[in-house]
Amino acid sequence: MSRLALALSLAVTGAVVSLPNVADACGNTVRRLVDSGQEYVQRAELLLAKAQYRKAVSTIREAFGDKAIAAHMKGPGAHLHGRAQRIVALAVARSGGAVAIGMDLGGAAQSRKDAAIAWAVLALRLQAGDQPTPAQTAELAEALARQTSGRAEAYDLLKGLGDGDLMPTAQGWALLAELSKERGDVEGSKTAVERCVKMRARGVKCELTEQA
Amino acid sequence: MRRQPELVRPRTRRRSCAPLLAVFSLLSCGTGPQDPVRADIPPAPPPAAPQIALEPPADPAAVARGQALIDRFECVRCHDLPGREPAPLEKHCVRCHQDILAGRFPAPPGTLREWQGHITHLTDVPALHGLDRFRRAWLAGWLHTPHDLRPGLDSTMPRLALGTAEAADLAAALIPAAEAAAPAAGDLARGRELFGDKSCALCHRFTGAPNIAPAARLPVPLDEAQLQRGLAQAPDLRFTRERMRPAALVAWLLDPPRHKPGTPMPKIPLDEADARALAAYVTEVPLEPPPAPKHVQRLPLLERRVTWAEVEAKVFKRTCWHCHSDPDYARGDGGPGNSGGYGFTPRRLDLASYTGIASGSVGDDGKRRSVFAPLADGTPRIVAHMLARHAEVEGAAPELRGMPLGLTPVPLADIQLVDTWIAQGRPQ
């Protein structure tokens, strides 16, 4: 846990990530083109989407090193750093902490897994802030669900999104189905599976496997 | 983009009645042609333009409030305004597009070419100089419920979140000066002739008026660029009779650049009487009523499957995401439909990704709400916003603000795609 403590202390100091700061565009196109840091992050996002967690993390580490783990405060580069950190945190959550992300977080040992997941929950919670988007909420729930102590909160978060018709992904519905079932809410679980199936997202398993 | 119901203005010509007052002191002068007129009284001089009370100088308090509103609504993100700095390039919705189209924007040639092929909206807007040629009352009404004025522009003035009082304050700030007295009326028949001879219809549409073809030769030499700008910016003259102060109209026709430096309307040689004649034609020629607004029809759902890829390419990644994207990904501010802008509160609506659209927007109560939620008539909210844009173009002011804001409506067949996709459970 000492490394986690280090990560947390960095969260307070706020390491500054400096990146080229070029003209904004109407929305999107211009910045994406002129900013090379973007390329790494974009590539890593694609790898994350393809469930290639180890590669996603190493791509981020190539550009950011341990800075991807430290929390970032404000200033130029904050957006990109936030995206990089999100990738690492989700790679941790989705791999169950098996991917080593640096600073002794993540890997084969259970203690490293636990530490990495604790870090991921914290990082996603900090990013979500007090006005999280549904996407941020669902991702935080994903990480929380990896902690025994976090599953009740994960359920509450996802249930809130589902009730407001604000579930951002099919994964969100699948996880809500699982968590609902665990609590004995058979109806809720069934609805969540149906919504998940309707989204027809590639690579997402909606049906719950064991039918105990 | 079209249409707006005619404003009703009193059109009765009043006789000059001062000489009569002594004789018929109890008779009103304003009751029209039936007024008893003594045969031995010489005919009144030709009537001046319709007598509407001249607008006085604007209330200074309203001007001050209006100036603050110009900041709040970020008018400088699209318009040049006297005495104000233009918005910085990365916030300026028109200048950046113009730089790209002119090849001035620092980007690789291949990319520039690709962008140039995509940009049609917000490529030109009128500068807000010399606005005291307009009626303040007209401007207030129009800012509140804008309609298209320039058939050559793809974009219209966006319907901003302003009430009638704010619109009036803005109009006061933009037109602080009093109106000058109207000149004597011109010769309408002569004006009709001049309208053809001087090739006015080369640039201008005049919907509802008889068709008068422009003469083969331009009255003044214009290069291609001047002509293109003229075509883009020339207003439909149908609205001029409501818009312009009569004295300013004559002054404008005599020398537009003197009234508004840099205007794309060239100075066309005319003498004073010609200008008054043209003004009479533009303001007095009877107009056909505008076509009745069409009812906007939501098309029935499609039978076939519709994918996210299809609606993304046809609708959301075409126009919407330029104003609605996630600032973290856009690295700009995410656009006025996400982070706020033009005086709108941030709605945090991201239409650049599946997750974004599924994440909804922030309502007036500060809470997230789904953009798919059906309204009372069953139409999903996001579909209703796109239909509302069609209604706006038809001249209505629906409660929901039309989307895309101030731009060409999404074709009904593409709205149908979005509608179907939602009904099918929004497959990813």
> Looking at CA atoms only, how far is residue A66 from chain B in angstroms?
21
Chain B contact set for A26 (CB, 8 A) = 93, 96-97, 322, 332, 335
Separation between Cα atoms, residue B393 and residue B162, nearest integer Å: 19
B313 and B415 share a domain? yes
Task: Extract the tokens encoding B323.
Answer: 């104003």
State whether A24 and B333 contact (CB < 8 Å): yes
| Chain B contact for A184 (CB, 8 A cutoff) | no
pLDDT at B19 over 50: no
A124 and A60 share a domain? yes
Q: Determine contact, residues B157/B174, Cβ cutoff 8 Å.
A: no
Question: Each residue of B273-282: pLDDT tens digit?
Answer: 999 999 999 9
Strand-pairing partners, residue B134, are B244
Q: Which of B42, B40, B53, B41 is nearest to B14 (CA)?
A: B53
Report the predicted TM-score, pTM, of the whole model to 2 decimal places: 0.85
State whether A26 and B373 contact (CB < 8 Å): no
The minimal CB distance from A31 to the residues B332, B360, B426 is found for: B332
pLDDT at A5 over 60: no
- Number of folded domains in chain B? 3
Separation between Cα atoms, residue A193 and residue A206, nearest integer Å: 6
Separation between Cα atoms, residue A83 and residue A55, nearest integer Å: 16
Residue B105 located in a structural domain = yes
A17 and A97 share a domain? yes
State whether B425 and A195 contact (CB < 8 Å): yes
A75 and A5 share a domain? yes
A118 and A163 share a domain? no
| Averaged pLDDT for residues B348-353 | 94
The minimal CB distance from B358 to the residues A25, A166, A198 is found for: A166
Chain B contact set for A83 (CB, 8 A) = 328-329
pLDDT at A20 over 80: no
| Chain B contact for A5 (CB, 8 A cutoff) | no
pLDDT at B188 over 50: yes
Q: pLDDT: is A71 or B376 the higher one?
A: B376
Count of CB atoms situated within 10 Å of the CB of A201: 19
Question: Each residue of B311-345: pLDDT tens digit?
Answer: 999 999 999 999 999 877 665 788 999 999 999 99
A102 and A14 share a domain? yes
Residue B384 located in a structural domain = yes
B273 and B372 share a domain? no
pLDDT of residue B219: 83
Strand-pairing partners, residue B184, are B48
| Chain B contact for A135 (CB, 8 A cutoff) | yes
Q: Determine contact, residues B338/B345, Cβ cutoff 8 Å.
A: no
H or E element, residue B172: helix B164-174
Report ipTM (2 d.p.). 0.74
Question: In one letter, which amino acid is A64?
Answer: F
With an 8 Å Cβ cutoff, the interface of chain B facing chain A consists of 89-91, 93, 96-97, 105, 107-108, 111, 115, 321-323, 325, 327-335, 348, 350, 352, 354-356, 358-360, 368-370, 372-373, 424-428
pLDDT at B141 over 70: yes
Question: Each residue of B281-312: pLDDT tens digit?
Answer: 999 999 999 888 888 989 999 999 999 999 99
B117 and B196 share a domain? no
Q: Which of B24, B11, B20, B10 is nearest to B43 (CA)?
A: B20
Residue B312 located in a structural domain = yes
pLDDT of residue A106: 84
How far is C-alpha A115 from the geometric centre of its chain's CA atoms?
Answer: 15
Task: Extract the tokens encoding B96.
Answer: 């950046």
Instruction: Scan for tokens 């009877």, then name that residue.
Output: B286
Q: Determine contact, residues B427/B421, Cβ cutoff 8 Å.
A: yes
| Averaged pLDDT for residues A160-178 | 95
A83 and A147 share a domain? no
A10 and A38 share a domain? yes
Please state, for a pLDDT cut of 70, what percent of chain A lies above it: 78
- Number of folded domains in chain A? 2
The minimal CB distance from A33 to the residues B111, B352, B354 is found for: B111
Residue B141 located in a structural domain = no
State whether B331 and A31 contact (CB < 8 Å): yes
Average pLDDT, chain A: 80
Q: pLDDT: is B9 or B181 the higher one?
A: B181
A209 pLDDT band, cuts 50/70/90, is low
Residue B380 DSSP SS3: strand
**Final residue of a domain: which of A128, A146, A167?**
A128
A187 and A121 share a domain? no
A36 pLDDT band, cuts 50/70/90, is low
State whether A34 and B107 contact (CB < 8 Å): yes
pLDDT of residue A35: 57
Residue of A21, A30, A90, A165 for testing the chain B interface, max B β-carbons within 10 Å? A30
Domain containing residue A144: 133-212
A39 pLDDT band, cuts 50/70/90, is confident
Separation between Cα atoms, residue B134 and residue B3, nearest integer Å: 20
| Chain B contact for A199 (CB, 8 A cutoff) | yes
Rounded alpha-carbon distances, angstroms, from residue B136 to A154, A211, B126, B236, B412: 57, 72, 17, 19, 36
DSSP codes of every residue in B296-344 = PPPPPPPSS---HHHHIIIIITTTGGGTS--HHHHSS---HHHH-BTTB
> Looking at CA atoms only, how far is residue B189 from chain A in angstroms?
50
Average pLDDT, chain B: 88
Burial of B306 (0-12, 13-18, 19+ CB in 10 A): buried
State whether A25 and B329 contact (CB < 8 Å): no
pLDDT of residue B6: 40
Residue B289 located in a structural domain = no
| Chain B contact for A79 (CB, 8 A cutoff) | yes
Among A6-20, A26-40, A90-104, A198-212, the least confident range: A6-20
Domain containing residue B267: 188-216+227-284
DSSP codes of every residue in chain A = -HHHHHHHHHHHH-PPP--------SSSHHHHHH-HHHHHHHHHHHHHHTT-HHHHHHHHHHHHGGGGTS---SSTTHHHHHHHHHHHHHHHHHTTT-S--BTTBSSSSHHHHHHHHHHHHHHHHHHHTTS--HHHHHHHHHHHTTSGGGHHHHHHHHHHHHHTT----HHHHHHHHHHHHHTT-HHHHHHHHHHHHHHT-TT---S-S---
Nearest chain A residue to B373, by CA: A165
**Final residue of a domain: which of B113, B147, B174?**
B174
Please state, for a pLDDT cut of 90, what percent of chain B lies above it: 77
Q: Determine contact, residues A138/A157, Cβ cutoff 8 Å.
A: yes
Question: Each residue of B49-95: pLDDT tens digit?
Answer: 455 689 999 999 999 999 999 999 999 999 999 999 999 998 999 99
Chain A contact set for B329 (CB, 8 A) = 28, 79, 83
B1 pLDDT band, cuts 50/70/90, is low
pLDDT of residue B54: 94
Question: Each residue of A52-88: pLDDT tens digit?
Answer: 999 999 888 887 777 778 776 566 677 788 888 999 9
pLDDT at B267 over 50: yes
B275 and B326 share a domain? no
Residue of B94, B308, B328, B331 for testing the chain A interface, max A β-carbons within 10 Å? B331
A68 and A154 share a domain? no
State whether A83 and B348 contact (CB < 8 Å): no
State whether A31 and B373 contact (CB < 8 Å): no
A82 and A139 share a domain? no
Rounded alpha-carbon distances, angstroms, from residue A130 to A122, A127, A150, A164: 13, 9, 18, 18
pLDDT of residue B330: 63
| Averaged pLDDT for residues B46-50 | 48
State whether A168 and B359 contact (CB < 8 Å): yes
pLDDT of residue B263: 95
State whether A82 and B107 contact (CB < 8 Å): no
Separation between Cα atoms, residue A127 and residue A86, nearest integer Å: 8
> Looking at CA atoms only, how far is residue A109 from chain B in angstroms?
34
How far is C-alpha B47 from the geometric centre of its chain's CA atoms?
Answer: 32
Task: Extract the tokens encoding B357.
Answer: 């659209």
State whether B331 and A24 contact (CB < 8 Å): yes
**Final residue of a domain: which of A95, A128, A161?**
A128
B22 pLDDT band, cuts 50/70/90, is very low
A112 and A73 share a domain? yes
Separation between Cα atoms, residue A17 and residue B297, nearest integer Å: 52
Cis, peptide link before residue B82, omega less than 30° from 0 = no
Question: In one letter, which amino acid is A56?
Answer: A
Separation between Cα atoms, residue A102 and residue B50, nearest integer Å: 81
Among A50-59, A126-135, B25-34, B151-160, the least confident range: B25-34
B238 and B195 share a domain? yes
